[in-house]
């Protein structure tokens, strides 16, 4: 049992030792207990390691005891490098830490791997009392290869930033880039907003190091970053605008509005869509080239400001404009990019001054740039569809200036299968004013209608066709949904609209009052057409009316227009009343004069296809 007094005294001693340790240079330790004055000298000074002072032994550092005859292991004099001193009377032994040896553990033992933390080569100094670490393993630095080397790039993957400020530099942390997580940013962070965007679902794979996405409808890409309904496939687009004398100022303004609306639908820039605007009449004039305009306000301004220099005004040399585009517009020096889609949007009435050259240059342009798509936009007082079809080669690339169908069609082809961007179908009534045609004319009109019907898609939920005729009274031949194949419709049409029923019989070829026919047409739309469907009537007639009848016809046609029906008129040859037709049709593009007189084959009617079966993009 230890007495309380002893504990108290020991405590004082320890406190005293601490006090003395702190004072450098102190040689002797005053030991209170000890021998009396009589034997002091003999006992401490002579034999042992201390001096006599006032009858007490004052021990040298490293010694302790009444007569300073005991090694003081706590003195710190013995056993360096962390070795443990064990007192053994007048002597001591050291229990050295790993990697050290010698009486006082003063010798380095480099065979022990711990000096350099197993991460480098231990090299002894010449005296064998210290070491350095060479060739620290990658990721480590410092005397003992114990400090993190953040510059080594062995920590923090995937762009993460290493911070070597943990535990005095012996550890690190990573600041991960967005989308990554884990001690070394080695794992996918599925909760990050850049993973599986737009409400896509993120799935971890390969132990969290990879992922995949289940995208929400309408999105694709590794991170669902692609909105299928945004223009994603970039393109270089050149507008060619016919400003010849046949195109008046009103048309010019409409053309500019069209181009401005078109441009505004697409993101601009060298990584996005690039536009160029060429005006032409007798010569082409580049208002801006592909590389000129990347700022959406400036480009709109530039379209507004566009004019053609006086020396380039005059007739319509469409071929020269197409040649200019082929030689200059897509050239890399003008900002053309090799690997993108290319569009040429030609706004003209289709009445070029050198039509052979126009067709040739369109061909050459297509040969020079096989991926170019030429869209013809019919604009102006009168539109000559045949040339537009020839330039574009494909009926669905021919559009009226009126409406946005051409813009939607380009949008759709720059998107990745957008489901919100789809083909929509119309309800179409073909209305024959049989009374206005002679035998040959009616034959041409029937063939024209046949080409149109044959090219329409007439399955369920596609284009619906109705047929009405006026001979001496208005008659409905078939309603929407009565037939769903083009062949049936054509055969029923040819059976009911007899070529013998024409005015040839009584030789009086003038239209009678077709207002009852037009009323029937409107009734059919009102009864059977859904609101969302586009409605169009194609009226086959020469539009030669007596004055009083003309008034009623105009009224009924206006009534159709007021009810959202597009009015398309088709006549044959020089006898057709083209002025009336241009006035009655919804837009000049919807007036067709078929026949040899105008060198217009029946196929010209196919220019209607893009209007009847058109692209729509629902905006979310
Ligand atoms: C995505 O990963 C999940 C889980 O590993 C797997 O079931 C699914 O088939 C993967 N989907 C795709 C599109 O790879
Ligand atoms: C556009 O390109 C044509 C042909 O290379 C060049 O003559 C014209 O100066 C360019 N226009 C602009 C505005 O850069
Ligand atoms: C112009 O572009 C910017 C950036 O793309 C867009 O925020 C802005 O709405 C655009 N302005 C017009 C008038 O289109
Ligand atoms: C358009 O014309 C206006 C007025 O003349 C001018 O201030 C502006 O800089 C022009 N913009 C462009 C793009 O040419
Ligand atoms: C210009 O053409 C439009 C049809 O595109 C016509 O309505 C208008 O009257 C014409 N204007 C002039 C001044 O000729
Ligand atoms: C074209 O579309 C825009 C936007 O939807 C609309 O504001 C404009 O009226 C449309 N133009 C025509 C002629 O339908
Ligand atoms: C036609 O459309 C209706 C209404 O959208 C739909 O219920 C029906 O399934 C469609 N029919 C076909 C054959 O696609």
Q: Which ligand is nearest to the CA of 323?
A: 2
Question: 406: CA distance to ligand 6 center in Å?
Answer: 12
Domain assignment present for residue 302? The answer is yes
Is the per-residue pLDDT at 343 higher than 60? Answer: yes
Separation between Cα atoms, residue 231 and residue 248, nearest integer Å:
33
Does one domain contain both 439 and 561?
yes
Query: Given a cut of 60, is residue 135 above it in pLDDT?
Result: yes
Average pLDDT over residues 91-95: 92
Say yes or no: 477 and 597 in one domain.
Answer: yes
Rounded distance, CA 260 to CA 379, Å? 15
DSSP codes joined into one string, 199-234: TPEEEEEGGGTEEEEEPPTTEESTTS-EETTS--S-
Neighbours of 4 (CB within 10 A): 7
Residues 460 and 410 in one domain: no
CATH, residue 199: 2.10.25.10
Q: What's the whole-number mean pLDDT along residues 403-416?
A: 86
Q: Please name which of 601, 525, 516 lies closest in space to residue 564, comparing C-alpha atoms.
A: 525
- End-to-end CA separation in angstroms for the chain: 90
Q: Does the residue 382 lie in any domain?
A: yes
- Which tokens is 453 given? 């019907």
Nearest CA to ligand 6 atom 13: 403
Structural domain including 133 reads 110-147
Is 152 domain-assigned? Answer: no
The residue behind tokens 């007739």 is 315
Instruction: Give the pLDDT score at 507.
Output: 54
User: Which atom number of ligand 5 is nearest to the Cα of residue 380?
Assistant: 5
Residues 124 and 209 occupy one common structural domain: no
Confidence at 492, pLDDT banded by 50, 70, 90: very high
What local confidence, expressed as pLDDT, does residue 275 receive? Answer: 97
- Is the pLDDT assigned to residue 538 strictly greater than 90? yes
- Residue 163 falls within a domain, yes or no? no
Strand order across the 56-59 sheet: 29-30, 56-59, 50-53
Q: What is the pLDDT of residue 8?
A: 39
Candidates 379, 404, 614, 617: which one to mutate for ligand 6, based on the most atoms within 8 Å of Cβ?
Answer: 404
Do 393 and 346 lie in one domain? The reply is yes
Q: Which two tokens stand for residue 518?
A: 């037009």
The pLDDT value given to residue 219: 81
Closest ligand 1 atom to residue 212 Cα is 1
- The model's pLDDT over 416-444, given as tens digits with 9 standing for 90+, comes to 666 667 889 999 999 999 988 888 899 99
pLDDT at residue 578 above 80? yes
How far is Cα 598 from Cα 384, in angstroms, rounded to an integer? 9
With a 6 A CB cut-off, is 591 part of the ligand 5 pocket?
no
437 and 456 housed in the same domain: yes
Per-residue pLDDT, 19 = 38
Rounded to the nearest angstrom, the distance between the alpha carbon of 403 and the centre of ligand 6 is 6
What CATH number corresponds to the domain at position 116?
Answer: 2.10.25
8 A C-beta contact, residue 607 and residue 378: yes
What average pLDDT does the structure give for the chain? 88
Ligand 3: which atom is nearest the Cα of residue 268?
5
Tell whether the model's pLDDT for residue 104 goes beyond 80.
Answer: yes
Q: What does the pLDDT average to over 587-598? A: 94
Ligand 4 centroid–CA 301 distance in Å is: 6
What's the CATH code of the domain at 364? 3.40.50.410
Say yes or no: 461 and 607 in one domain: yes
Per the domain annotation, does 50 fall within a domain? yes
One domain for residues 314 and 453:
no
Domain presence at residue 23: yes
What are the b/e assignments for 61-80, b being 16+ CB within 10 Å? bbbbbbbbbbbbbebebbbb
Q: Which of 357, 390, 415 is the last residue of a domain?
A: 415
What is the tally of helices (H) and strands (E) in the chain?
14, 34
Work out the number of other CB atoms within 10 angstroms of the CB of residue 49. Answer: 22
CA distance 495 to 252: 46
Rg of the chain, C-alpha, whole Å:
49
Nearest-atom index, ligand 5, CA of 250: 1
What is the band of 329 on the pLDDT scale with cuts at 50, 70, 90? very high
Note the ligand closest to the C-alpha atom of 279.
2
Final residue belonging to a domain, choices 415, 447, 476: 415
Residue of 243, 248, 589 best suited for mutating to test ligand 5, as the one with most atoms within 8 Å of CB: 248
Relative to beta strand 372-378, strand 398-400 is parallel
- What does the pLDDT average to over 244-250? 86
Structure tokens, 398? 């021919």
Residues with CB under 6 A from ligand 2: 286, 288-289, 292, 328, 334
Which protein residue's CA is at the shortest distance from atom 8 of ligand 2?
286
Residue closest to 521 by CA, chosen among 486, 482, 469? 469
| Same domain for 377 and 514 | no
pLDDT tens profile 143-156:
899 999 999 989 99
Last residue of a domain, one of 147, 171, 206: 147
Residue 579 lies in a domain: yes
User: How far does residue 42's CA lie from ligand 3's centre (Å)?
Assistant: 104
Residue nearest to atom 8 of ligand 7 (CA): 461
> Measured between alpha carbons, how far is 436 from 550 in angstroms, rounded to an integer?
13
Do 122 and 251 fall within a single domain? no
Phi and psi torsions of 404, nearest 5°: -115, 15
Name every protein residue with a CB atom under 6 angstroms from any ligand 7 atom: 460-461
**Alpha-carbon gap, residue 166 to 168, rounded angstroms:** 6
Q: What is the count of structural domains for the chain?
A: 5
One domain, residues 395 and 479:
no
Residue 101, in any domain of the structure: no
pTM tops 0.85, yes or no: no
Nearest to 303 by CA among 363, 258, 351: 258
Q: Three-state SS across 453-465?
A: HHHCCCCCCCCEE
Check if 264 has its Cβ closer than 6 Å to any atom of ligand 3. Answer: yes
Residue 10 pLDDT more than 60?
Answer: no
Three-state DSSP class for 412?
helix
Q: Indicate if 62 and 130 belong to the same structural domain.
A: no
């Amino acid at each position: 049992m230890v007495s309380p007094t002893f504990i108290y005294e020991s405590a004082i001693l320890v406190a005293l030792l601490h006090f003395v340790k702190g004072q450098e240079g102190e040689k002797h330790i005053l030991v209170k207990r000890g021998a009396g004055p009589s034997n002091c000298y003999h006992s401490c000074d002579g034999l042992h390691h201390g001096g006599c002072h006032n009858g007490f032994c004052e021990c040298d550092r490293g010694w302790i005891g009444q007569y300073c005859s005991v090694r003081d292991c706590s003195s710190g004099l013995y056993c360096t490098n962390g070795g443990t001193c064990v007192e053994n009377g007048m002597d001591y032994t050291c229990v050295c830490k790993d990697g050290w040896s010698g009486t006082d553990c003063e010798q380095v033992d480099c065979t022990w791997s711990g000096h350099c933390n197993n991460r480098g080569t231990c090299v002894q100094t010449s005296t064998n009392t210290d070491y350095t670490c060479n060739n620290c393993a990658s990721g480590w630095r410092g005397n003992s290869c114990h400090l993190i080397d953040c510059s080594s790039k062995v920590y923090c993957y995937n762009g993460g930033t290493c911070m070597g400020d943990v535990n005095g530099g012996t550890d690190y942390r990573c600041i991960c880039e967005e989308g990554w997580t884990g001690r070394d940013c080695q794992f996918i962070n599925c909760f990050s907003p850049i993973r599986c965007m737009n409400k896509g679902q993120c799935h971890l794979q390969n132990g969290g190091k990879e992922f995949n996405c289940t995208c929400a409808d309408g999105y694709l890409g590794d991170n669902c970053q692609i909105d299928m309904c945004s223009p994603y496939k970039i393109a270089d687009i050149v507008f060619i605008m016919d400003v010849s004398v046949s195109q008046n100022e009103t048309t010019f303004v409409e053309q500019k509005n069209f181009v401005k609306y078109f441009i505004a639908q697409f993101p601009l820039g060298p990584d996005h869509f690039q536009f160029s605007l060429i005006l032409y009449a007798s010569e082409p004039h580049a208002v801006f080239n592909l590389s000129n305009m990347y700022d959406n306000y400036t480009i709109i301004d530039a379209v507004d400001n566009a004019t053609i220099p006086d020396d380039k005004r005059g007739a319509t040399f469409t071929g020269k404009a197409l040649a200019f585009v082929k030689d200059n517009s897509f050239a890399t020096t003008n900002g053309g990019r090799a690997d993108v889609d290319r569009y040429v949007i030609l706004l003209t009435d289709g009445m070029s001054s050198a039509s052979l050259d126009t067709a040739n240059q369109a061909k050459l342009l297509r040969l020079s740039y096989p991926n170019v798509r030429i869209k013809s936009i019919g604009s102006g007082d009168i539109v000559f569809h045949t040339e537009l079809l020839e330039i574009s080669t494909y009926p669905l690339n021919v559009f009226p200036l009126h409406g946005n169908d051409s813009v939607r069609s380009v949008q759709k082809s720059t998107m990745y299968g957008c489901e919100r961007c789809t083909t929509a179908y119309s309800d179409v009534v073909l209305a024959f004013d049989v009374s206005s045609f002679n035998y040959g004319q009616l034959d041409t009109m029937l063939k024209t209608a046949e080409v149109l019907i044959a090219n329409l898609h007439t399955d369920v939920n596609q284009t619906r066709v109705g047929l009405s005729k006026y001979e001496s009274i208005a008659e409905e031949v078939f309603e929407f949904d009565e037939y769903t194949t083009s062949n049936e419709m054509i055969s029923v049409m040819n059976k009911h609209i007899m070529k013998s029923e024409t005015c040839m019989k009584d030789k009086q070829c003038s239209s009678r009052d077709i207002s009852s026919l037009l009323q029937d047409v409107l009734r059919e739309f009102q009864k059977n057409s859904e609101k969302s469907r586009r409605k169009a009537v194609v009226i086959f007639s020469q539009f030669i009316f007596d004055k009083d009848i003309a008034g009623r016809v105009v009224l009924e046609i206006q009534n159709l227009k007021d009810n959202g029906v597009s009015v398309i008129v088709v006549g044959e040859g020089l006898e057709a009343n083209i002025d009336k037709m241009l006035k009655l049709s919804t837009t000049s593009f919807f007036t067709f004069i078929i026949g040899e007189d105008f060198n217009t084959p029946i196929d010209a009617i196919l220019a209607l296809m893009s209007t009847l079966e058109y692209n729509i993009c629902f905006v979310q």
